[in-house]
C-alpha cells in the first residue's frame, strides 16, 4: 500500500504537468487559429499556472460547493462522524472534515489535496438506506481515496478540465464570429489548431475518466483492508446498484469523485470511454473473489 501511495503521488505530479501542457497547447492553437500570434500562448501560460495552483489549494472547496455540501453537524449526524473518525484512526490519518449533501440519491465522495486537508461528503439518501456496516464500508472506501492520495488527482482534474473546456468553448465561439476575410497562415497548422480546439476537451475528459476507473477499484480493495469485512462494502455496492435515483445537482466536473457515477448509466461503447467508474457488477465480483 505504501508503494501505491508513492505511485499515486508521482502520477499526481504527472497529471498536473499533462494538464498544464494541454492548456498551453490549447492556448497556442487558439492563438494561431484566431490570428493572435504569440499572445494566445502568453495568455495560456499564466492561465495554466493559475489553474494548477488553484487546483491544488482550492479545488476541494470548489467540489464541495458544486455538490451543494454542508458541514455535517456532530450532534445531528453522530453515527456518520463516529464512523469517519474510526476509519481515520484505522487508516492512521487525521479525521477529515465531514459534509452532507441534501439529496435522496445515495452517494458519497472524498475530496482535498492531502490527508491533512481532506473532506468526506455523503448524501442524505445514502444515510437513509445503508445500515451501519454498509455505511462503514462506504466511508472506508472514501478514506482509502484520501490515504492513497487519489483525492489530489481527482480534485486537480475538477478545475483543469474546466479550464480546457471553457477555454476551447470560448475559442470556438470566437472562431465562428471572427472576420472570415482575414487570411494567412499555414493551412496545415490551421487544421491542426482547429482540431486541437475541438479534441482537447475530449482528451481531458478521457484522461480524467481512465485514471478514475482504476482508482475506484483500488479504493474498493484498500477500503476492505480497513474494515476487514468485505460484506459491508459489497452490501453497500449492491444497494447502490439497485437504487435508480440520480443525484439531482451533480456536475460532470466532479462525477469522478463519487463512489458511484451520479448520472444515469450510459450504454454505448463511445460513452463508456468517458465513464469514470467500472461497472458495479465487476467491482462486486472482484470483492467477492478476495
* Residues assigned a catalytic role: 142
Of the candidates 199, 207, 236, the residue with the CA atom closest to the CA atom of residue 83 = 236
Asked whether 105 and 243 are in contact (CB, 8 A), the reply is yes
Q: How far apart are CA 11 and CA 167, in angstroms?
A: 25
- Helical pair 280-288 and 187-227, crossing angle rounded to 10 deg: 40
- The residue behind cell 458541514 is 71
**Which H or E element spans position 166?**
helix 150-177
- Helical pair 150-177 and 187-227, crossing angle rounded to 10 deg: 160
Q: How far apart are CA 229 and CA 161, in angstroms?
A: 36
Q: How far apart are CA 35 and CA 30, in angstroms?
A: 8
Burial class (CB in 10 A: 0-12, 13-18, 19+), 268: exposed
Amino acid at each position: 500500500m505504501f508503494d501505491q501511495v508513492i505511485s499515486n503521488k508521482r502520477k499526481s505530479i504527472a497529471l498536473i504537468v499533462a494538464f498544464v501542457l494541454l492548456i498551453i497547447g490549447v492556448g497556442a492553437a487558439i492563438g494561431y487559429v484566431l490570428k493572435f500570434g504569440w499572445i494566445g500562448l502568453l495568455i495560456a501560460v499564466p492561465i495554466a499556472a493559475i489553474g494548477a495552483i488553484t487546483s491544488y489549494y482550492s479545488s476541494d472547496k470548489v467540489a464541495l460547493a458544486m455538490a451543494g455540501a454542508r458541514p455535517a453537524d456532530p450532534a445531528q449526524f453522530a453515527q456518520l462522524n463516529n464512523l469517519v473518525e474510526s476509519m481515520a484512526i484505522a487508516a492512521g490519518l487525521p479525521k477529515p472534515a465531514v459534509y452532507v449533501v441534501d439529496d435522496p440519491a445515495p452517494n458519497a465522495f472524498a475530496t482535498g489535496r492531502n490527508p491533512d486537508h481532506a473532506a468526506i461528503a455523503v448524501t442524505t439518501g445514502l444515510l437513509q438506506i445503508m445500515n451501519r456496516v454498509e455505511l462503514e464500508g462506504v466511508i472506508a472506501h472514501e478514506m482509502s481515496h484520501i490515504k492513497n492520495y487519489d483525492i489530489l488527482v481527482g480534485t486537480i482534474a475538477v478545475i483543469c478540465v474546466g479550464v480546457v473546456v471553457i477555454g476551447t468553448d470560448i475559442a470556438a465561439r470566437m472562431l465562428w464570429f471572427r472576420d472570415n476575410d482575414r487570411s494567412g497562415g499555414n493551412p496545415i497548422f490551421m487544421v491542426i489548431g482547429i482540431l486541437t480546439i475541438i479534441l482537447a476537451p475530449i482528451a481531458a475528459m478521457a484522461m480524467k475518466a481512465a485514471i478514475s476507473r482504476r482508482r475506484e477499484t483500488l479504493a474498493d480493495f484498500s477500503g476492505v483492508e480497513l474494515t476487514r469485512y468485505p460484506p459491508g462494502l459489497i452490501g453497500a455496492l449492491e444497494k447502490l446498484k439497485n437504487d435508480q435515483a440520480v443525484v439531482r445537482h451533480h456536475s460532470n466536473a466532479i462525477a469522478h469523485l463519487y463512489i458511484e457515477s451520479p448520472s444515469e448509466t450510459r450504454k454505448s461503447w463511445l460513452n463508456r470511454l468517458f465513464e469514470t467508474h467500472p461497472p458495479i457488477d465487476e467491482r462486486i465480483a472482484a470483492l467477492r473473489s478476495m
